[in-house]
Amino acid sequence: MRLVLASNNAKKLAELRALLAGLPLEIVTQGELGIVEAEEPHHTFVENALAKARHAARACGGAAIADDSGLCVNALGGSPGVISAHYAGEVDVIAGEDREARRRRQDALNNALLLERLQGAADRRAHFISTLVALRHADDPEPLIAVGRWPGEVLDSPRGNGGFGYDPLMMIPELGATVAELDADRKNRFSHRARSAAALREQLVQVWRLA
């Protein structure tokens, strides 16, 4: 079964392929099919994930999957939340710059703003959240919805060179490391997306009868 991922994020594609490995699925990005990215105007992760999945499903005429994820910080009332990827506002486009270089500039600004807004905060608790939605077709009345949360604490300064986004600031106490210090295998076993993917896998088997 082909499942179109409503994203062009290569790392997200690799993660989902690994997490859903063993199921009879061919996961491809919407970009491979020439599908443009959907608008994400909503205030909740589940609404944005549904919007993205429906957009991709309608464009491809088949099944689609979408993930909406981010960081929620207790002391900031859940922010950055759904605007985690562009918390500091979208960076300007630089001619000739590739997608990954632009993302790194964006990440740096987002992290700096987060630290600025947490200055003096005693409560550093936060969690990554991943909401996965899968649809058999654009008008599927029974979307599969799975949510995974990965609790941790925001550090005062970054640690580690791996991952992306807020990974260098997010300490996972039970692992004694930031997300950016974890190798791909450990991240795939413990992450918010690992948790939502595990819940989604169960639904894919039980509801869609994939095995």
Instruction: Please identify every residue annotated as catalytic.
Output: 68
Exposed/middle/buried for 9, CB within 10 Å: 0-12, 13-18, 19+? middle
Angular region, 147: left φ>0, alpha ψ -120 to 50, beta rest: beta
Q: Are 80 and 114 in contact (CB under 8 A)?
A: yes
Q: Are 114 and 154 in contact (CB under 8 A)?
A: yes
DSSP 8-class letter at 44: S
Q: How far apart are CA 170 and CA 43, in angstroms?
A: 23
Encode burial over 40-74: b for 16+ CB neighbours within 10 A, e otherwise: beeeebebbbbbbbbbbbbbbebbbbbbbbbbbbe
Check the CA dihedral 79-157-153-130 and report its sign: positive
